[in-house]
């Protein structure tokens, strides 16, 4: 290992489209998949690490989130309010498609805190929504016959009270 | 909130290889190493774009779905069974059970539902159990609680949160089921709004790390009044705890000495006491906090009328929010190095009696600094208490004692601009106290 301290080292990541991102090693630690790769490598990782499942749009958002959170946490005063506001804006700025894509990317890269936040956001979005809405959101095709679906709903009637109608 | 709560660890995905659809992630190391050898030629970009749109619209893998569903009540998670055949039984292996009676019109429906879930769920682990039963009567449903706890402990539960608030009378009496105490996997427990009737038990918890008790009191008939905490220690295993939160707790005490309830908490790192009080104002002489590994202590709005002595040798963070008058704290620590003290007071505090209490708080602080001539660096963070800091200081000139304080960090909250003008007085005072020529005052 070279003599440079950890916080100064930069890691380069390459997305599917070939875009390169320079990331501080302190931020890269939150991308556990990447960190595992670095740990597993025998030599210093100098060439860009390719991420075959991650697109530029997602990586850019993930790094944005991590950079901001690092900034909030290292401040002198607790920036809880500011962080909450940032998180709310962050969630609102994405369409459902983008949210799902980001979840898959965050899952692949194993970014624990972000994944927790994103999945909570999805849970909030689909809570109390109609079945059609949720199907659309996840891109699910209904393979029940109308009779099967009716039967299932009747069996679990109590679960469908107070929910948005289709 | 209980710290360290981890509902459905995304790491689950890595173990769940058999169920992973082909488009998803693989074992990180080999995938990236393999990818390193692949050259992403420009002509491949198009193929990726097609694959991209398919990936994005495809189903999320089971473990991610479990993670999402674990943020909802079980009742809502079950609704996903009608989405498609693949989703029919996904709810049955979500490692979280979240029952809240508020989502049901009648308690009898809630009961039927809970029992139905317990008998229709698969055998997978339950990591988290949340059971909130808001009753309208004085008694809680002991049978239902027993069944739920039995099920969860049998399925390797790690965290349990229970709230049994009754509409009319607050906290109903309840017998904590024995399986909760014998459960080896249980690490975090939160009990709110209940009065346990079992003040002693043949077995106590042996591996609890986090305990949170709120609106909780032990039935006085069997309690040991000399140490009202001894029941808790026995039932929940004080020696294994790393985090303890006690809120809105009423204790009975009839002794005349000091009370030192946390001395047996040999692993305790975080302690929070909020809105605690002694019944009939029977306070001990001193309330001593002396857990040997304690790092973070926070005292919020307690109603003690006795002195709180903080004697935890490894303390690094102390946070204090307003307490009743006649209560103040004092430190008895070997060293203040690295200690961060954070004092807040509610905004509208200008009445005389409250101002006097502030002075007492202040005196506690000054005593502490005075008594610790060996410390070299102390960090104090004031909010509105600093307004009176200046005046109180001049009332007691005998505080000019020898002090080796080399640096004093003032963290001044940006929302309270009023005391900036007094800061000069404060810093002048401390500068006078110090014998060092190079005494440094840093303001942030």
- Each residue of B389-422: pLDDT tens digit? 333 332 233 333 333 444 444 444 332 333 334 4
On whether the CB atoms of residues B104 and B74 are closer than 8 A, the answer is no
Q: Does A162 touch chain B (CB under 8 A)?
A: yes
Cα A2 versus chain centre, distance: 32
Q: How many CB pairs under 8 A join A and B?
A: 135
On whether the CB atoms of residues A134 and B80 are closer than 8 A, the answer is yes
Q: What pLDDT, on a 0 to 100 scale, did the predictor assign at position B217?
A: 73
Q: Please give the sequence-ordered ranges of beta strands (E in DSSP) within B333-439, or none if there are none.
A: 340-344, 377-382, 407-412
Quick check: A160 and B79 CB within 8 A?
yes
Q: Which two tokens stand for residue B385?
A: 């208490």
Per-residue pLDDT of chain A (166 residues; tens, 9 = 90+): 444 444 568 889 999 999 999 999 889 999 999 999 888 887 777 788 899 889 999 999 999 999 999 888 776 556 778 888 999 999 999 998 899 999 999 999 999 999 999 999 999 989 888 888 999 888 888 899 999 988 888 887 766 665 544 4
Quick check: B84 and A135 CB within 8 A?
yes
Global pTM value: 0.74
On whether the CB atoms of residues B50 and B2 are closer than 8 A, the answer is no
CB atoms within 10 A of CB A81: 9
Which residues have CB under 8 Å from B321's CB, separation 6+? Answer: B298, B299, B300, B301, B343, B344, B345, B346
B153-157 contacts, C-beta under 8 A, 24 or more apart: B153/B179, B153/B180, B153/B182, B153/B183, B153/B185, B153/B186, B154/B179, B155/B123, B155/B124, B155/B125, B155/B126, B156/B125, B156/B126, B156/B127, B156/B185, B157/B125, B157/B126, B157/B127, B157/B128, B157/B129, B157/B183, B157/B185, B157/B186
Quick check: A40 and B29 CB within 8 A?
yes
Cα B83 versus chain centre, distance: 37
Q: What are B213's strand-pairing partners?
A: B191, B246
The sign one gets for the Cα dihedral B129, B130, B136, B138 is: positive
Residues 69-128 of A with CB under 8 A from B: 76-77, 97, 100-101, 103-104, 107-108, 110, 112, 115-116, 119-120, 122-124, 126-128
Cα B294 versus chain centre, distance: 14
On whether the CB atoms of residues B370 and B403 are closer than 8 A, the answer is yes
Question: For residue B67, which residues of chain A lie inside 8 Å, CB to CB?
Answer: 115, 119
Separation CA B270–CA B4 (nearest Å): 12
Quick check: B83 and A140 CB within 8 A?
yes
Orientation of helix A96-109 relative to helix A32-40, angle to 10°: 30
Residues 410-439 of B with CB under 8 A from A: 411, 413-414
**Candidate from A138, A152, A156 with C-beta closest to B59:** A138
Q: What angle do CA B407, B412, B413 make, to 5 degrees?
A: 155
For testing contact with chain B, the best of A159, A160, A163, A165 (most B CBs within 10 A): A159
Pairing of the two strands B407-412 and B377-382 = parallel
Residues 142-161 of A with CB under 8 A from B: 142-144, 149, 152-153, 156, 158-161
Quick check: B82 and A131 CB within 8 A?
yes
Q: Could you please report the per-residue DSSP string of B25-75?
A: ---HHHHHHHHHHS---TTHHHHHHHHHHHHHHSPPPHHHHHHHHTTS-HH
Quick check: A141 and B85 CB within 8 A?
no
Helix, strand or coil, per DSSP, at residue B312: coil
Q: Which two tokens stand for residue B368?
A: 């502490």
**Smallest Cα–Cα separation from B60: which of A109, A36, A138?**
A138
**Candidate from B72, B75, B444 with C-beta closest to A76:** B444
CB atoms within 10 A of CB A43: 6
In degrees to the nearest 10, what's the CA dihedral of B126, B130, B136, B137?
Answer: 60
Segments of chain B scoring below 50 in pLDDT: 1-57, 221-222, 326, 346-353, 370-379, 381-422, 433-444
Separation CA A33–CA A30 (nearest Å): 9
Q: Does B37 touch chain A (CB under 8 A)?
A: no
- The pair phi, psi for residue B208, each rounded to 5°, is -70, 135
Which residues have CB under 8 Å from B365's CB, separation 6+? Answer: B341, B343, B380
Pairing of the two strands B188-196 and B96-100 = unpaired
Q: Does B35 touch chain A (CB under 8 A)?
A: yes
Q: What angle do CA B281, B286, B287 make, to 5 degrees?
A: 85
Separation CA B48–CA B52 (nearest Å): 6
**Smallest Cα–Cα separation from A31: which of A90, A119, A110, A131?**
A110
The half-sphere exposure of B66 on its side-chain side, counting CA atoms within 13 A, is 25
Torsional class of A33: left (φ above 0), alpha (ψ -120 to 50), beta (otherwise)? alpha
Which letter, b or e, does each residue of B286-316 get, where b requires 16 or more Cβ atoms within 10 Å of its Cβ?
A: bbbbbbeebebbbbbbbbbebbbbbbbeebe
Separation CA B378–CA B391 (nearest Å): 21
What distance in Å separates residue B27's CA from the closest CA in chain A? Answer: 9
Question: For residue A110, which residues of chain B lie inside 8 Å, CB to CB?
Answer: 10-11, 28
Which residues have CB under 8 Å from B429's CB, separation 6+? Answer: B390, B393, B394
Q: What pLDDT, on a 0 to 100 scale, did the predictor assign at position B66?
A: 94
Q: Does B52 touch chain A (CB under 8 A)?
A: yes
On whether the CB atoms of residues A135 and B84 are closer than 8 A, the answer is yes
For testing contact with chain A, the best of B64, B77, B101 (most A CBs within 10 A): B64
Nearest CA in chain A to B55: A101
Separation CA B113–CA B99 (nearest Å): 9
Q: Does B118 touch chain A (CB under 8 A)?
A: no
**For residue B167, what is the DSSP state?**
T
- The pair phi, psi for residue B249, each rounded to 5°, is -115, 130
């Amino acid at each position: 290992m070279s003599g440079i301290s950890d916080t100064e080292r930069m890691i380069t990541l390459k997305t599917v489209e070939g875009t390169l991102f320079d990331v501080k090693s302190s931020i890269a630690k939150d991308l556990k998949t990447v960190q595992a790769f670095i740990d597993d490598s025998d030599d210093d990782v100098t060439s860009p690490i390719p991420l075959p499942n991650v697109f530029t749009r997602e990586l850019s958002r993930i790094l944005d989130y991590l950079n901001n959170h690092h900034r909030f946490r290292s401040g002198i005063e607790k920036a809880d309010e500011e962080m909450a506001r940032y998180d709310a804006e962050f969630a609102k700025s994405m369409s459902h498609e983008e949210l799902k894509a980001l979840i898959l990317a965050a899952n692949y890269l194993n970014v624990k805190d972000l994944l927790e936040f994103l999945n909570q956001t999805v849970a909030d979005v689909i809570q109390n929504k109609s079945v059609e809405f949720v199907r659309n959101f996840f891109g699910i095709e209904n393979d029940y016959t109308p009779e099967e679906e009716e039967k299932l709903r009747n069996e679990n009637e109590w679960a469908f009270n107070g929910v948005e109608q289709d | 909130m209980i710290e360290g709560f981890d509902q459905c660890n995304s790491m689950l995905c890595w173990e769940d290889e058999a169920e992973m659809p082909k488009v998803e992630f693989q074992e990180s190391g080999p995938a990236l190493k393999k990818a390193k050898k692949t050259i992403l030629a420009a002509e491949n970009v198009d193929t990726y774009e097609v694959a991209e749109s398919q990936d994005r619209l495809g189903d999320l893998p089971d473990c991610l779905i479990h993670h999402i569903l674990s943020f909802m009540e079980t009742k809502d998670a079950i609704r996903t069974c009608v989405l498609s055949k693949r989703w029919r039984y996904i709810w049955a292996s979500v490692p979280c059970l979240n029952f809240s009676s508020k989502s049901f019109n009648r308690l009898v429906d809630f009961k039927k539902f809970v029992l139905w879930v317990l008998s229709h769920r698969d055998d997978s682990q339950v990591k988290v159990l949340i059971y909130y039963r808001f009753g309208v009567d004085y008694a809680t449903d002991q049978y239902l609680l027993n069944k739920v706890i039995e099920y969860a402990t049998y399925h390797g539960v790690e965290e349990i949160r229970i709230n049994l608030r009754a509409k009319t009378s607050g906290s109903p009496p309840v017998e904590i089921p024995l399986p909760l105490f014998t459960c080896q996997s249980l690490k975090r427990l939160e009990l709110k709004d209940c009065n346990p009737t079992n003040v002693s038990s043949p077995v106590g918890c042996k591996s609890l790390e986090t305990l949170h008790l709120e609106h909780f009191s032990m039935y006085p008939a069997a309690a040991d009044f000399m140490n009202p905490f001894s029941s808790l220690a026995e039932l929940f295993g004080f020696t294994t705890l790393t985090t303890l939160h006690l809120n809105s707790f009423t204790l009975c005490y009839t002794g005349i000495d000091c009370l030192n309830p946390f001395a047996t908490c040999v692993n305790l790192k975080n302690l929070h006491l909020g809105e605690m009080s002694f019944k009939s104002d029977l306070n001990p002489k001193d309330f001593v906090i002396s857990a040997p590994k304690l790092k973070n202590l926070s005292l919020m709005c307690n109603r003690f009328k006795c002195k709180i002595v903080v004697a935890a040798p490894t303390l690094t963070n102390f946070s204090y929010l307003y307490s009743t008058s006649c209560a103040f704290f004092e430190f008895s620590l070997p060293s203040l190095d690295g200690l961060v003290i954070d004092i807040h007071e509610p905004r509208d505090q200008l009445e005389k009696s409250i101002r006097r209490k502030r002075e007492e708080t202040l005196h506690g602080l000054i005593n502490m600094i005075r008594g610790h001539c060996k410390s070299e660096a102390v960090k104090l963070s004031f909010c509105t208490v600093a307004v009176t800091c200046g005046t109180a200081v001049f009332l007691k000139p005998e505080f000019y004692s020898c002090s080796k304080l080399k640096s004093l960090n003032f963290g001044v909250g940006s929302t309270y601009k009023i005391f900036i003008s007094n800061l000069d007085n404060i810093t002048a005072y401390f500068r006078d106290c110090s014998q060092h020529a190079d005494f440094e005052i840093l303001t942030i």
